[in-house]
Amino acid sequence: MSSEQSYNVDNLLSLVEKYHKYDKDQESVNYIDKLVKEENWLELDNLLTNPIKFGTAGLRAKMEPGFSRMNNLTVLQASQGLCAYALEQYGDEALSRGVVIGYDHRYNSETFAKLTAAPFLKKGFKVYLYRTKVHTPLVPFGITELNAVCGVMITASHNPKDDNGYKVYWSNGCQIIEPVDAGIANQIRLNEEPWAWDLDICNTSDLCVDPYDEMVEKYFSRISKLFPKADSEKAQPKYLYTPLHGVGGKYAKKAFADCGLNPFEVVEAQYEHDPDFPTVKFPNPEEKGALDLAMEEGSKIGAQIILANDPDADRFSAAERLPNGEWVQFNGNQLGTMIGFKTFEKYQGGSQKVGMLASAVSSGMLQAIGKVEGYDFEVTLTGFKWMGNQALKWEQRDPTMKAIFAYEEAIGFMCEDIVRDKDGISAMITFVNLANQLYQNGTTVYEYLMGLYHKYGCFVNENSYYICRDPELINTIFDKMRYSESGELNYPEELYGFKVTNIRDLTIGHDSSQPDNKPLLPVSASSQMITFELSGALEQGQPESNITLTLRTSGTEPKIKYYSELAAPTDPSLDISQVEQRFKQLQVKTTEVIQGITKALLKPEVYGLASA
């Protein structure tokens, strides 16, 4: 506990008084009062001084009392701001078009959803409130199907169990971006005091309806049309599925049934909803160890492929058991390349002009394939808030274009236009159709991936992060990369023996690859993001390889993340087993090179950065 002199106690007590005025949750108020009695100014400062920030992902934080956390009050305030902004933008039209609201299985999610609905109902909005736990894609899907003006999904996705979130979509069915996010944030500030604290209104108002049955029927009708119905008589791999204690189970099961696929086996210990996520440290299928239980179970029952969703089922991951019994888990870039190319095959040779998108920190492989196979490609900033909106803008700009796929390396995939957001169910069905096709032809998914490397070159990724809890130190580290002691731009010209060929700095707006040195992607001084492009031979006598390394700060975690890729040509005379050997050699070399480069740039030992 810090001394009183360290804090402006009068200001803290003023905030306590304000919290008393606004929060009608007696348990929360009692906790704040307890801290005052204990003179725990440190904790009061943490909970009250800096209001939870509303951004392009809405809200996400630990569930605790206080203006800085996710709780009944901050959810209600966010909903009042969103309601006011929708009225400001659409007027009375907003009332009849309404809002779509969904929630997952986390602690307090259902209560938060009802509190979200309350201000809209009070203002006379039609409210489409799902009355059961849903996977996130049903909210953006509902917005476009019902022509609603906005939507909210209560979820913290794959965050730890103590967190929850408030994810906002706009009338186009996409996550919000500028200037919508700033407009909502402003209205939250103007509407802090609760209009009403009424959960019962969701049960008593005729304006509140449940769209679940209609939306599920329409959503799965679209899912079932992604591919021709499977022939259950033909051989299919044995699949084992895990929703990682989340809501995905019944949606994955229905998707399999509606698509004519043979039922999958399930990881029983992870199949039912459980907000405590008892069998995993982090309920994120791409985290190391998250699929250990599934792999153990899969080996016992003879499963060939593991399918996994994150808890709100907007992400998808997969692993395959090799002939030697070992499991290989495909990373997000590998899945994105395979699922994207499978989607493209439906259009290959046809008259429809198609395009795909990926985030700036994702692999360049799908883009490289497009240059050979003839589809268009666009790169956006990180996150589906950018890709979904950009896909729509692309089609509006060029009515002959259809954006058929988008992905980010963090196992998020948008297949076709069912939703303009990541969707773990449609991605799973696309992957399963690919796997079925391969197994019926006597090959595996892993062998198929090696075949892509053989034809288009090897693309090897090395992604990780360092932990740094001091924002000022992070700024210092990045400034050391870009400026000399005299304050002039002074990016490194060589790193770990590789020549730096281009630098894109989206914090200050510099891109050496452009004639005017101005980047094509949006610039934001509020976050750090630098991309280095390098070239050089991995070993003497070998052809040059290209390396792309992006360092960026996280918007939700105290991390400096790095994303890297080495792209190397493949000798066409190699057979598949030799390509696999080459790929494994490149993985080892890439790890060595990227660790050398990142240590040279970030100087973790100098600045006391903790590695992942």
What CATH number corresponds to the domain at position 104?
Answer: 3.40.120.10
Over range 464-477, report the average pLDDT.
95
Q: Looking at the structure, tell me whether residues 164 and 130 fall in a common domain.
A: yes
The b-or-e profile of 9-40 (16+ CB within 10 A means b, else e) is eeebeebbeebeebbeeeebbeebeebeeeee
Q: Looking at the structure, tell me whether residues 78 and 188 fall in a common domain.
A: yes
Count other C-beta atoms under 10 Å from residue 293's C-beta. Answer: 16
Is residue 11 situated within a structural domain? yes
Q: Are 308 and 279 in contact (CB under 8 A)?
A: no
User: Which among 330, 347, 382 is the end of a domain?
Assistant: 330
Is residue 246 situated within a structural domain? yes
Count of residues making up the chain? 612
What's the confidence (pLDDT) of residue 554? 83
Q: Are 496 and 597 in contact (CB under 8 A)?
A: yes
Q: Which two tokens stand for residue 206?
A: 């005729």
Q: Looking at the structure, tell me whether residues 472 and 551 fall in a common domain.
A: yes
The 3-state secondary structure of 448-500 reads: HHHHHHHHHCEEEECCEEEECCCHHHHHHHHHHHHECCCCCECCCCEECCEEE
Is residue 434 situated within a structural domain? no
Q: Looking at the structure, tell me whether residues 345 and 398 fall in a common domain.
A: yes
What's the confidence (pLDDT) of residue 4? 47
Q: Looking at the structure, tell me whether residues 517 and 412 fall in a common domain.
A: no
Over range 321-338, report the average pLDDT.
97
Q: Looking at the structure, tell me whether residues 113 and 254 fall in a common domain.
A: no
The residue range of the domain holding 282 is: 225-330
Question: Could you give the CA distance from residue 72 to residue 76 in angstroms, rounded to a whole number?
Answer: 6
Cα separations (Å) of 371 from 25, 281, 364, 375, 458? 58, 41, 11, 7, 16
Q: Looking at the structure, tell me whether residues 86 and 209 fall in a common domain.
A: yes
Assess whether pLDDT exceeds 90 at residue 196: no
Assess whether pLDDT exceeds 90 at residue 433: yes
Q: Looking at the structure, tell me whether residues 87 and 210 fall in a common domain.
A: yes
Q: Is 611 a catalytic residue?
A: no
Helices (H), 38-71: 41-48
pLDDT band (50, 70, 90) for residue 3: very low
Q: Are 411 and 421 in contact (CB under 8 A)?
A: no
What's the confidence (pLDDT) of residue 241? 99
Mean pLDDT estimate for the chain: 96
Q: Looking at the structure, tell me whether residues 471 and 602 fall in a common domain.
A: yes
Indicate the number of domains in the chain. 5
Least Cα distance to 210 among 137, 78, 274, 117 occurs for 117
User: Which among 280, 303, 330 is the end of a domain?
Assistant: 330
Tell me 4's DSSP state: G
CATH code of the domain covering residue 494: 3.30.530
- First vs last C-alpha separation in the chain: 29
What's the confidence (pLDDT) of residue 562? 97
User: Which among 308, 330, 352 is the end of a domain?
Assistant: 330
Helix (H, G, I), strand (E, B) or coil at 387: helix
Is residue 59 situated within a structural domain? no
> Looking at 28, 68, 79, 157, which residue is catalytic?
157
Is residue 430 situated within a structural domain? no
Question: Could you give the CA distance from residue 322 to residue 302 in angstroms, rounded to a whole number?
Answer: 11
Is residue 444 situated within a structural domain? no
Assess whether pLDDT exceeds 80 at residue 485: yes
pLDDT band (50, 70, 90) for residue 258: very high
Which residues lie closer than 8 Å to 148 by C-beta, 6 or more apart? 97, 98, 99, 100, 128, 142, 171
Is residue 58 situated within a structural domain? no
Assess whether pLDDT exceeds 80 at residue 5: no
CA 571, 577, 583, 588 dihedral sign is negative
Q: Looking at the structure, tell me whether residues 109 and 209 fall in a common domain.
A: yes
Q: Which two tokens stand for residue 251?
A: 């949606």
More confident residue, 67 or 611: 67
Q: Are 531 and 550 in contact (CB under 8 A)?
A: yes
Q: Looking at the structure, tell me whether residues 461 and 403 fall in a common domain.
A: no
Is residue 435 situated within a structural domain? no
Assess whether pLDDT exceeds 70 at residue 60: yes
Which residues lie closer than 8 Å to 519 by C-beta, 6 or more apart? 504, 505, 506, 509, 510, 511
Q: Looking at the structure, tell me whether residues 461 and 606 fall in a common domain.
A: yes
What percentage of the chain reaches a pLDDT higher than 70? 99
Provide the strand spans (E) within 72-158. Answer: 99-103, 127-129, 150-154
Least Cα distance to 459 among 589, 341, 370, 333 occurs for 333
What's the confidence (pLDDT) of residue 1? 42
Q: Which two tokens stand for residue 353?
A: 């002009």
Tens of pLDDT along 554-609? 876 789 999 999 999 999 999 999 999 999 999 999 999 999 999 999 999 999 99
CA dihedral 404, 408, 411, 412 (to 10 degrees): -50
What's the confidence (pLDDT) of residue 233? 82
Tens of pLDDT along 514-570? 999 999 999 999 899 999 999 998 877 788 899 999 999 987 678 999 999 999 999
Question: Could you give the CA distance from residue 530 to residue 551 in angstroms, rounded to a whole number?
Answer: 5
